Amino acid sequence: MLQRLGRWLRAAGYDTVIETQGRRDYELLKQALAEQRYLITRDRELNEYRRAPGTVILLECERLDDCVAELGRHLDINWLHQPFVRCMVCNTPLTDSRPQNLDALPERLKASLDTAFYCPACQKVYWEGSHVNRMRRQLEAWRDGCFNN
Ligand SMILES: [Zn+2]
């Protein structure tokens, strides 16, 4: 669930590292401190957190909306900070320069290339459409304090 929360933080424009390799707690904490990040976890065993007050944020939520609400009690998150400037998959800032190989794009995308953004790292394409609109509405709901989805 925190990985989903992390992807939504990226959607809101926050520079967010998502741990996927099962690294040890102290390695995560070391990175958080070195890169001046918050370390958001549900791991009560992360016992180094006492040595890094203000860095580790311990959440107890189960559902995404509850995580959003709970995180908001720790940090002043602006869910419309800079929507859709980062790749939700890999955190890389998006660009509007077109990818080299347009042939690889699905037909339905070729029609909306002018409004599309691309991830230069993982090649994911984002374009203004129903999916982005739905996500934008979700971000707006969280900004407005609605956490009941
Ligand atoms: Zn990417």
pLDDT digits (tens, 9 = 90+) for 90-144: 999 999 877 666 666 677 667 666 778 889 999 888 877 778 889 999 999 999 9
CA distance 5 to 7: 5
pLDDT at residue 36 in the model: 94
What is the overall mean pLDDT for the chain?
87
For residue 43, what pLDDT is reported? 83
Distance 52 CA to ligand 1 centre (A): 30
In angstroms, what is the span from residue 56 Cα to ligand 1's centroid?
26
Q: Say which residues have a Cβ less than 8 Å from residue 99's Cβ, sequence separation at least 6.
A: 105, 118, 123, 125
81 C-alpha to center of ligand 1: Å?
19
Mean pLDDT of 14-38: 92
Q: Which residue has the tokens 């918050």?
A: 38
**What is the structure's pLDDT at 25?**
82
pLDDT at 104: 67
What predicted TM-score, i.e. pTM, was given to this entire model?
0.87
SS3 content of the chain, % helix, strand, coil (to 5): 40, 10, 50
Q: Ligand 1: distance of its center to the CA of 7 in Å?
A: 11
Q: Say how many Å lie between the CA of residue 120 and the centre of ligand 1.
A: 7
Residue 20: Cβ within 10 Å count: 8
- Host H or E run for residue 8: helix 2-11
> Does pLDDT of 23 surpass 70?
yes
Q: First-to-last CA distance in the chain? A: 14
How many angstroms separate the alpha carbon of residue 51 from the centre of ligand 1? 33
Question: How far away, in angstroms, is 83 Cα from ligand 1 center?
Answer: 15
The pLDDT of residue 26: 83
Q: Please compute the mean of the pLDDT values over residues 29-56 and round it to a whole number.
A: 82
Question: Residue 125's beta-bridge partner residues?
Answer: 118
